[in-house]
Amino acid sequence: MTIREIVQPLGLKLVVEGASDKEILGGYTSDLLSDVMANAKSGYLWITNQKHQNCVAVASLLDLCGVIIVGGTQPDEDTVAKARAEQLPLYTSDMSAFDIAGRLYEMGVRGPIQP
């Protein structure tokens, strides 16, 4: 499934379209950048409350397929500009991270297998 296919069912609001035809290979939810860097994988969709441009830097570094900023939080202007420059799909949602993650799980998106 691609990001484009989850937008309508989740009611996501488009901020930056980017390369939204990428396949979602998994998902990760965290607000701690170092945690995301240690555990998210290339092709994952990241769910966060963070709104600053460092989120885009981490997502680009890990080659994540996109970022959903949840809880009604709006990204900073420099975050939007950086996401455009990186062609990183960026969405917002009024739902909580818990609810978005649960719905994605129901749609078949999984996170990393923990030992």
Following DSSP, what letter does each residue of 46-97 receive, concatenated? EEES--STHHHHHHHHTT-SEEEE-TT----HHHHHHHHHHT--EEE-SS-H
The answer as to whether 56 is a domain residue is yes
The answer as to whether 65 is a domain residue is yes
pLDDT of residue 114: 59
Q: Residue 115: is its pLDDT beyond 60?
A: no
How many domains does the structure of the chain reveal? 1
CB 89 within 8 A of CB 18: yes
39 by Cβ neighbours in 10 Å (0-12 / 13-18 / 19+) ranks as: middle
Q: Residue 44: give its domain's CATH number.
A: 3.40.1390.20
Closest CA to 1 of 22, 16, 15, 28: 22
Give this prediction's pTM: 0.94
Query: Which pLDDT band holds residue 98 (cuts at 50, 70, 90)?
Result: very high
